[in-house]
A and B are shown apart, each in its own frame.
Chain A
C-alpha cells in the first residue's frame, strides 16, 4: 500500500515526523518497504514564456525567452505545443532530472540554450496527465520563479507499506490514519461527508438474486461535467500509485483509497433500463470489459446487469458499454460488497487483478459502504458539478453485529509472560479507539467492523505490538522434557559420518525430475507421481531414484575438470503408497591416490562392495547377502552388478553403469549403489550387542590354491568349504585370483583358511584332516583341483 504523506497529515493537527512514522510502522505494525519523495528533482522553477521565434537553422525548434522570476533565460524547445504566454516548468542548468540526467548549458545549431522546458515524462510522472502533448503547460495562476512541484501539489512523500494478509484495514488511508494515531498517540480528525441532495426521487431500483452481494447502494447523479481533476487530487492518486483519468473516475478511486471501499461509476444514459439486478453469471455469458476484451463468464462470477445482460463484472472491472466518457451527463454510482472468494476466483481466472478486486478479496468493511458513497457524492458535486438525485437505492442484508471479545488481565499476562497493568491496557485500547468495559480484571472489548478480529489472541497481539515487543522479558520454557535423536536420526548421522570419513562428499539435489529421469534405475513397476502444475518439464515428476541426479552431478563436475568424484546423498524417493528414504552412492575416478608414489588405483566394483559391506557391519546389519540379481538391473552392467539382500529381502543394488549409459554421458567406469534406508533400519539389529569372549587358544592357518572353471564363483568355493568344515573353520580369506592362457578357461584361486577352537588347542592332524575333506568336497562339488 502506497500512502501519500500529505493525505495522511490531513487527519492530524500537526505534520507527522516521517522518520518516527517509519520506525513506528516497522516495530509496531507493518514493514516499511520505502519512504520516498514523490518527485525527487530539486531546483525546478515556474517559467513564463515571454516570446518565442523559430530557430533559424531548424524549423522544429523554438527559441524561447522565459521569465523564471529572477532572470530571463533563452531556452530552445523542441515541443510542438510550446507557445508564447504559457506558464511552464523550467529546469535550469545544473538540475538533475529523472534518470540521473544533469542539465548542461548547450549550443544547439549555433544558438545558446540555458535550460529546458520540461514535459511530465522528464519529471518521471507521465501518468499525471494523459492529454499532454509535449511540454506540460501550467495554469495561468502559476507565478514565475516559484516551485512548480508545489504548484502541482506534487511536493509529497510516499510511504510504501508491505501489508500482511491480516491487515486489509491498512488498504485505506483512513485505516493507516487510525494506526498512525494509535502508534503515535495522536488525536484523529475524521470528518463526515456532507452531501446536498435534490429532493427528486432516485429513478433506479436495485435488486439482487445472489447471496454473494450483501450490500449494494446505487446513487444517480445528474448534470455531471467530465473534466480533469484538480491538481491535489491527481497528485494524491499518483502518490498512491493510481493513474488519474478524469474527475469522475478519479473521485471513485480517491474514495476507494480513503475508505478502502471500491466504487464504480456507470454512464447512466447507457444503461438500458432502470433496474439493476445483481446475480451470478450464466455459463458462457459474455461481457465486453473496459479494457476492450470480450470476457467469457462462468457460473460463480458475479455480474451487475440491467435486468437482461451484464453491464459490469462485479468488483473486478466495469463494462465498456456503460463506460464514462467525455460526453457523460448522468452517472450511476455503485458502492457495494461482494463475496471475497468469488471476486478472487473471477479476478485470478481472468487474470484481472485490480485495486478494486484486491480490496474485495481481502474483505471490505460493510459498515462504510454508504459513507464512502456519500463522500464520493460530495466530491462529485464539488469537482464535477454533479447534482445528487435523491437518496440512493439499495439493498443491505448485513446484520448489525457488535462483536465483543473478552480478555482478562490474567490471560493476557499468562500468555505473554509480562505483567501488564490495567492502566496500560486501558491506554492502548483507547488509542486503538476500541470501546471497552472493565469488570474485575476482565476487559469486554467491542471490536469495530474496520478491524475484524476473531479471538482474544488478536487483542493480545494489538496490546503487545502497541506496547512494544521489546518490553517482553526473556525466559525459557520451564516444563521439563527429554530431547534427543531417535534411532533413525542417529543412524542417518552415522551414515553421513561414515561416508565423509571415507572421502565422500554429500550432495543435495532436487526431488522433482523429468519423466524419464524419475523412473531411471527403477525396479518398481509403479508410475512416478506427477505434479499437476509443474514449473517445467524438467521438474514434473517425483523421482523414484536419486541416481539420475547423482549422474547429473557427475557430468557437471567432470566437465569442470574434476576427475575423482565420490558422492552420496540421503533423500526421499516417492511412490504411490509411501515415501522411502534412500541412500545413493556414486564413485568415479581414484580414491586415496598419491601421484608421485604412483598409487592411483581407479575405483572398481570391489571398492564399492567393500565400502558397502563395511557400512553394513558398522550398522550391525545381520545376514546380508550381495548376490547376482536374478533379473537384469535397469541401467546397470549385467555382468558387473549385484543386489543386496538382508534376511531374504532385497533392499538395494550396486554395480557399474551400463555401457550404453556410460556412452550417453561420455564417462566411463562409473559405479553406483542405491539402497532403501527404511528397509535397512527395519532389518538392522536394534539390540544391544553382547560381548563375545576372546579365545585363549592359538589358531592354525593353511593356504590352499585350487584350479576351477572360470564360471565358478568365489561364493561357490566358499560355500563348499563352509559346508564341509563347520566347527573349527574360523575364517576364509581369498588372497589371490589368477587367470592365465596356459590354464585354458580355468582360474586359480588361493585361499587362507584359519582354524580355531574356543575351548582347546587344535592339533595339526585334525586340521590336516579337515583340509583333506575340504579338497575332496571341492573336487566333488566344483571339480576343483588342488594346484601344486
Chain B
C-alpha cells in the first residue's frame, strides 16, 4: 500500500508539472483528488487495515493528498502568470512612436514680462492700477508738470483725437488718477502697466504703440534712498541676483531730481561687450522723486508728502532679457516667434 501511494504521488506530481492549461489541471485534480480518484480507492483499502495501522496510513494518505493539492495550486499560479505574461506581450506597443500632439499655447512675451514685473512689485506691497488709453491733455500732461507750452512736450510727439484728447503717451496719467482717487491721502504704492502711444515711425527700436509699467510711491517719508533700494531689488529680480545699479542725472518734468537707471550688464558682468556698448552698463529705466508740482496738482501738500516714481518700457526689458533686436517682432505675431515663450 505504501508503494502504491508513492507511485500515485509521483505520477500525479509529474502530470501536474507538465500541465499547461487550467482545463488539464482540473482534469488532473479530478483524477487524483476526485470521488473516483485512486486516493479514494486507497481510502477504501484503508478499511482492511488493522485498527492500529489505520491512523498511521490515514495520515500518510492525507499528507500525500495535501501535497498534490498544493502542487496543483502552485501549478495554477504558474499557468495564470504565464497567461498574463502572454497577454501583456501581445499588448506591447512601440513607445517610440510620437506622442499625441496636445496643443500647447503661449502667453505673449510682453504679457509674461509684465506679469513678472507685477509679481515683483505685488510682493513689495504694491497695488496694480489701470486707466484709459484715451486721455485728456490735463491728465496726460498738465497735471504732470507739463503745461501747454512746455518744451518737453516735444519729447513725446502724440496722437491727438481733439485738441484736448489724445492717446496717452505714458502710463503716468494713471498715477494722477490714483492720487486723485486716494482722497484720504493714505500711503500709496502702485504700479501702472499699460499700452501707450507715441508718434514715431516703426523701426528696429521704435514702435508707435508700446507698453510701459510705472511705479509710484507717495507717503510722508519715501526717500531717494528708498527709490534706489527698490530699483536694485527690481533689477536683481528681473536680470539676476548679481546685478548692480547705477544712477545718472536725467530730466523728466514729473520728477525732480530725475535719474536714468543703468543695470550692470548681465551678458558680460560689467567687463564690456557689444550688448552694453563696452560700458558694462545697460540703461533700463527712468525714475525720480515726484515733482512737487505734481503733488500740488493732485491736492497733496508737498511739505507733508513726498515720493518717488519709476517707469520702464516693457519691450525694452523683454528685448534685453531675450536677445530680441527688432521691436517689430513683438507686434508681428509670427507664431514661430510668439510660440518661443
Measured CB to CB, the residues of A under 8 A from B are: 26-31, 164-167, 340-341, 344, 361-362, 414-418, 455, 457-458, 460-461, 464-465, 469-470, 472-486, 489, 493, 496, 499-512, 529-535, 539, 542, 553, 556-557, 560, 562, 565-567, 571-572, 574, 578-579, 591-597, 599
User: A593–B101 contact, CB under 8 A?
Assistant: yes
What's the minimum C-beta distance from A506 to chain B, rounded to whole angstroms? 4
Query: Which single member of A344, A539, A556, A595 contacts B333 (CB below 8 Å)?
Result: A556
Given contacts A484-B122, A567-B333, A579-B134, contact A505 B106 (CB under 8 A): yes
Query: Which single member of B122, B208, B228, B332 contacts A473 (CB below 8 Å)?
Result: B228
Could you tell me the distance between the alpha carbons of A493 and B107 in the complex, rounded to whole angstroms?
10
Could you tell me the distance between the alpha carbons of A502 and B228 in the complex, rounded to whole angstroms?
42
User: B159–A534 contact, CB under 8 A?
Assistant: yes
Could you tell me the distance between the alpha carbons of A183 and B136 in the complex, rounded to whole angstroms?
41
Closest to A569 in B: B108
Residues on A with C-beta less than 8 A from B63 are: none
B233 within 8 A of partner (CB): yes
User: B126–A481 contact, CB under 8 A?
Assistant: yes
What's the minimum C-beta distance from B121 to chain A, rounded to whole angstroms? 7
What's the minimum C-beta distance from B297 to chain A, rounded to whole angstroms? 14
User: B187–A479 contact, CB under 8 A?
Assistant: yes
User: A341–B134 contact, CB under 8 A?
Assistant: no
Residues on B with C-beta less than 8 A from A592 are: 100-103
What's the minimum C-beta distance from A560 to chain B, rounded to whole angstroms? 7
What's the minimum C-beta distance from B197 to chain A, rounded to whole angstroms? 8
Could you tell me the distance between the alpha carbons of A166 and B182 in the complex, rounded to whole angstroms?
31
User: A483–B121 contact, CB under 8 A?
Assistant: yes
B221 within 8 A of partner (CB): yes
Given contacts A167-B251, A465-B249, A483-B122, contact A473 B225 (CB under 8 A): yes
What's the minimum C-beta distance from B137 to chain A, rounded to whole angstroms? 13
Given contacts A502-B103, A506-B111, contact A557 B334 (CB under 8 A): yes
Could you tell me the distance between the alpha carbons of A415 and B250 in the complex, rounded to whole angstroms?
18
Could you tell me the distance between the alpha carbons of A511 and B118 in the complex, rounded to whole angstroms?
23
B51 within 8 A of partner (CB): no
B306 within 8 A of partner (CB): yes
What's the minimum C-beta distance from A592 to chain B, rounded to whole angstroms? 5
Chain B, residues 209-248, CB within 8 Å of chain A (1/0): the string is: 1000000010111111110111011000000000000111
Query: Which single member of A27, A457, A511, A567 contacts B256 (CB below 8 Å)?
Result: A457
State the 7 A-B residue pairs at the shortest beta-carbon distance, nearest first: A503-B103, A417-B225, A417-B223, A164-B251, A461-B257, A469-B247, A500-B105
Residues on B with C-beta less than 8 A from A596 are: 97-98
Could you tell me the distance between the alpha carbons of A609 and B291 in the complex, rounded to whole angstroms?
52
User: B100–A461 contact, CB under 8 A?
Assistant: no
What's the minimum C-beta distance from B91 to chain A, rounded to whole angstroms? 17
User: A507–B108 contact, CB under 8 A?
Assistant: yes
Could you tell me the distance between the alpha carbons of A30 and B259 in the complex, rounded to whole angstroms?
11
Query: Which single member of B103, B106, B197, B260 contacts A506 (CB below 8 Å)?
Result: B106
User: B128–A479 contact, CB under 8 A?
Assistant: no
Q: Which of B64-72, B147-155, B268-276 contacts A (4 or more CB under 8 A)?
A: B147-155
Given contacts A483-B124, A530-B161, contact A465 B226 (CB under 8 A): no
Q: List 9 A-B contacts (CB under 8 A).
A: A164-B250, A457-B291, A476-B124, A483-B123, A507-B338, A510-B209, A511-B209, A567-B335, A593-B101
User: B221–A479 contact, CB under 8 A?
Assistant: yes
Closest to A566 in B: B103
User: A556–B251 contact, CB under 8 A?
Assistant: no
B110 within 8 A of partner (CB): yes
Closest to B188 in A: A481
Could you tell me the distance between the alpha carbons of A755 and B188 in the complex, rounded to whole angstroms?
56
User: B160–A539 contact, CB under 8 A?
Assistant: no
User: B134–A505 contact, CB under 8 A?
Assistant: no
Given contacts A483-B125, A506-B107, contact A476 B233 (CB under 8 A): yes
Could you tell me the distance between the alpha carbons of A417 and B126 in the complex, rounded to whole angstroms?
21
Query: How many residues on chain B are close to A (CB under 8 Å)?
Result: 84
Given contacts A341-B149, A496-B111, contact A562 B335 (CB under 8 A): yes
Given contacts A418-B225, A506-B111, contact A531 B289 (CB under 8 A): no
What's the minimum C-beta distance from B331 to chain A, rounded to whole angstroms? 6
Could you tell me the distance between the alpha carbons of A500 and B108 in the complex, rounded to whole angstroms?
10
User: B224–A417 contact, CB under 8 A?
Assistant: yes
Residues on A with C-beta less than 8 A from B334 are: 556-557, 560
What's the minimum C-beta distance from A221 to chain B, rounded to whole angstroms? 34
* Majority secondary structure, B binding face: mixed
Measured CB to CB, the residues of B under 8 A from A are: 97-98, 100-108, 110-111, 115, 118, 121-128, 130, 132-134, 149, 151-152, 155, 159-162, 167, 187-189, 195, 197, 199, 201, 208-209, 217, 219-226, 228-230, 232-233, 246-251, 253, 256-260, 289, 291-292, 306, 330-336, 338-339
What's the minimum C-beta distance from B48 to chain A, rounded to whole angstroms? 63
User: A344–B133 contact, CB under 8 A?
Assistant: no
Given contacts A474-B229, A480-B125, A512-B208, contact A457 B289 (CB under 8 A): yes
What's the minimum C-beta distance from A445 to chain B, rounded to whole angstroms? 16
Besides A30-B249, A507-B108, 19 other A-B contacts (C-beta < 8 A): A27-B248, A29-B249, A31-B260, A340-B149, A344-B151, A415-B223, A417-B226, A457-B291, A472-B225, A479-B187, A483-B124, A483-B126, A510-B208, A533-B160, A535-B199, A535-B201, A560-B334, A565-B335, A579-B134
Residues on A with C-beta less than 8 A from B208 are: 510, 512, 535, 539
User: B199–A533 contact, CB under 8 A?
Assistant: yes
Could you tell me the distance between the alpha carbons of A405 and B102 in the complex, rounded to whole angstroms?
68
User: A474–B228 contact, CB under 8 A?
Assistant: yes
Could you tell me the distance between the alpha carbons of A499 and B103 in the complex, rounded to whole angstroms?
10
Query: Which single member of B125, B228, B249 contacts A481 (CB below 8 Å)?
Result: B125
Given contacts A483-B126, A539-B208, contact A506 B108 (CB under 8 A): yes
Query: Which single member of B130, B189, B209, B250 contacts A512 (CB below 8 Å)?
Result: B209
Residues on B with C-beta less than 8 A from A474 are: 225, 228-229, 232
User: A479–B222 contact, CB under 8 A?
Assistant: yes
User: A597–B257 contact, CB under 8 A?
Assistant: no
Closest to A462 in B: B257
Residues on A with C-beta less than 8 A from B108 are: 506-508
What's the minimum C-beta distance from B338 to chain A, rounded to whole angstroms? 5
Could you tell me the distance between the alpha carbons of A363 and B224 in the complex, rounded to whole angstroms?
29
User: A26–B209 contact, CB under 8 A?
Assistant: no
Could you tell me the distance between the alpha carbons of A426 and B177 in the complex, rounded to whole angstroms?
40
Closest to B222 in A: A477
What's the minimum C-beta distance from B152 to chain A, rounded to whole angstroms? 4
Could you tell me the distance between the alpha carbons of A180 and B213 in the complex, rounded to whole angstroms?
35
Residues on A with C-beta less than 8 A from B220 are: 479
Could you tell me the distance between the alpha carbons of A499 and B251 in the complex, rounded to whole angstroms?
42
Could you tell me the distance between the alpha carbons of A594 and B97 in the complex, rounded to whole angstroms?
11
What's the minimum C-beta distance from A113 to chain B, rounded to whole angstroms? 40
User: B103–A165 contact, CB under 8 A?
Assistant: no
Closest to A564 in B: B103
User: A506–B248 contact, CB under 8 A?
Assistant: no
Residues on A with C-beta less than 8 A from B248 are: 26-27, 31, 469
User: B338–A531 contact, CB under 8 A?
Assistant: no
Interface centre among A479, A500, A509, A593 (most CB of B within 10 A): A479
User: B132–A579 contact, CB under 8 A?
Assistant: yes
User: B160–A532 contact, CB under 8 A?
Assistant: yes
Query: Which single member of A28, A476, A509, A591 contacts B229 (CB below 8 Å)?
Result: A476
Could you tell me the distance between the alpha carbons of A557 and B339 in the complex, rounded to whole angstroms?
12
What's the minimum C-beta distance from B177 to chain A, rounded to whole angstroms? 14
Residues on B with C-beta less than 8 A from A29 are: 249
